[in-house]
Amino acid sequence: MIGASQIKEQMEVKDSDGKHLGTVDSLEGERVKIASGGMHHFIDLDVVENVKDGVVRLTQTKDEAMRTWH
């Protein structure tokens, strides 16, 4: 699992296909709060594949991640 200390506010969040998903707003415990489409959503740290060059990359596709938002 990626350490929360690697994730910073305003980092871009991309899905497993490299598609833009949102921007990191904050960290709340073991979840990343992201801003996307004018709303805030949460992603569990365990779906973060890596953090590189200011981008948080997920192990999920955009559709998979968005299913947990509703």
Domain 4-62 architecture: Roll (2.30)
If phi > 0 it is left, if psi is from -120 to 50 it is alpha, else beta; for residue 69 that is alpha
pLDDT (tens digit per residue) in 17-30: 999 999 999 999 88
Predicted TM-score of the model (pTM): 0.92
Q: Is the pLDDT of residue 16 over 80?
A: yes
Domain ranges within the chain, ordered by starting residue = 4-62
